[in-house]
């Protein structure tokens, strides 16, 4: 369907700027806005969000070609002489314990499990 709409100048300018940022035409952006406005669902499903993200045009500024193999870089990384695996594992156990305590407190606060 083709439709012509007279927009106030500030709205037209905002639409053009937003379309430029998203690298689509103002008409495409207006169609997306109208489509979203008339959707019956208030919240998108995860699949819809992923699909919408996949449809976004690629921004060449965000693409950097690989310069080396990550596997090789990790294998050839210098060893940190000050890294203490035992201390790190001990600290990580403390972190995991704290995360479990926080998760349990959240579950109790949200009513998922009864307090003990």
User: Could you report the per-residue pLDDT of 68-100, keeping only the tens digit for each?
Assistant: 999 999 999 998 989 999 999 999 999 999 999
Rounded to an integer, what distance in angstroms lies between the CA atom of residue 94 and that of residue 100? 10
Rounded to an integer, what distance in angstroms lies between the CA atom of residue 24 and that of residue 29? 7
Rounded to an integer, what distance in angstroms lies between the CA atom of residue 22 and that of residue 58? 10
The pTM for the full model equals 0.36
Q: What is the pLDDT of residue 30?
A: 94
Per-domain boundaries in the chain:
1-56, 84-116
Q: What is the pLDDT of residue 43?
A: 76
Tens digits of per-residue pLDDT, 41-64? 677 889 989 999 999 888 888 888
Residue 110 CA, distance from chain mean position: 25
Tens digits of per-residue pLDDT, 12-23? 999 999 999 999
């Amino acid at each position: 369907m083709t439709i012509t709409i007279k927009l106030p100048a500030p709205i037209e300018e905002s639409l053009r700027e937003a379309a430029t940022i998203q690298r689509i035409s103002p008409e495409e952006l207006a169609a997306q806005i109208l489509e979203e406005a008339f959707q019956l669902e208030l919240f998108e499903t995860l699949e819809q969000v992923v699909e919408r993200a996949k449809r976004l045009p690629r921004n060449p500024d965000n693409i950097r070609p690989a310069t080396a193999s990550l596997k090789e870089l990790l294998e050839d990384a210098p060893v940190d002489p000050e890294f203490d695996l035992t201390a790190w594992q001990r600290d990580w156990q403390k972190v995991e314990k704290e995360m479990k305590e926080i998760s349990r407190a959240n579950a109790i606060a949200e009513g998922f499990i009864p307090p003990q």
